[in-house]
Amino acid sequence: MTLSLSLRRPLLLSALVLLPLAWAPLDDFRKNHAFLINASPSLPNWAFWLDRHAPIHRGSLIFFEPPPSELVEKHFGAGPQMFGKRVLGMPGDVVRHEGRAVLINGRKVATRLAVTRLGVPLTRGPAGVIPKDCYYTGTSHPRGLDSRYGAIGFVCRGQILGSGRAIL
């Protein structure tokens, strides 16, 4: 079946007008969302949906770039990395260490290890009031590299790529 010339021309012109209108929202969506695959055992899921503008709450899963350090490089390789962790502490919360226990607002949220799986000594993470626009992160995995340790510390707004949710 062929379309007559009187129908083809308006359809073509309509497509030329509508295509840019559809492209802008798709491009905006692409810039603000991502599908992520987890290759680490520190989170129980392997696929996540990232939203760069989702609000962050206690318990949110956030994805961020850890600060550069020899510890991160030794365990994960050179170059930029992306970590995904749960938010355990919010701005204004108080972090305290008692031995190897980590407490936020007086409630135990984690236990620190002395060394990594490769035998590298771990330093204690930050204590005190969590600053504005920063978060204390962690996972249920005992060997997760997170805010319990000085190499990661508080995760602040400039490091955060977005908040995510597990999809698989």
Q: Rounded mean pLDDT of 48-54? A: 93
Sheet order of strands, 47-51 included: 33-37, 47-51, 160-166, 61-64, 83-89, 134-138, 155-156
Side-chain-facing half-sphere of 50: CA atoms under 13 Å? 22
Residues 127-146: tens digit of each pLDDT: 999 999 999 999 989 999 99
Give the pLDDT of residue 8. 77
d(CA 24, CA 84): 29
Residue type at 151 in one-letter notation: A
Query: What is the torsional sign of CA 149, 154, 157, 158?
Result: negative
DSSP letter, residue 59: T
At 150, is the pLDDT very low, low, confident or very high (cuts 50, 70, 90)? very high
Nearest to residue 84, comparing CAs of 108, 60, 57, 118? 60
Side-chain-facing half-sphere of 168: CA atoms under 13 Å? 7
d(CA 104, CA 89): 7
Residue type at 152 in one-letter notation: I
Q: Rounded mean pLDDT of 42-54? A: 89
User: 151 with 72: CB under 8 angstroms?
Assistant: yes
Give the pLDDT of residue 93. 98
Question: Does residue 112 carry a pLDDT above 80?
Answer: yes
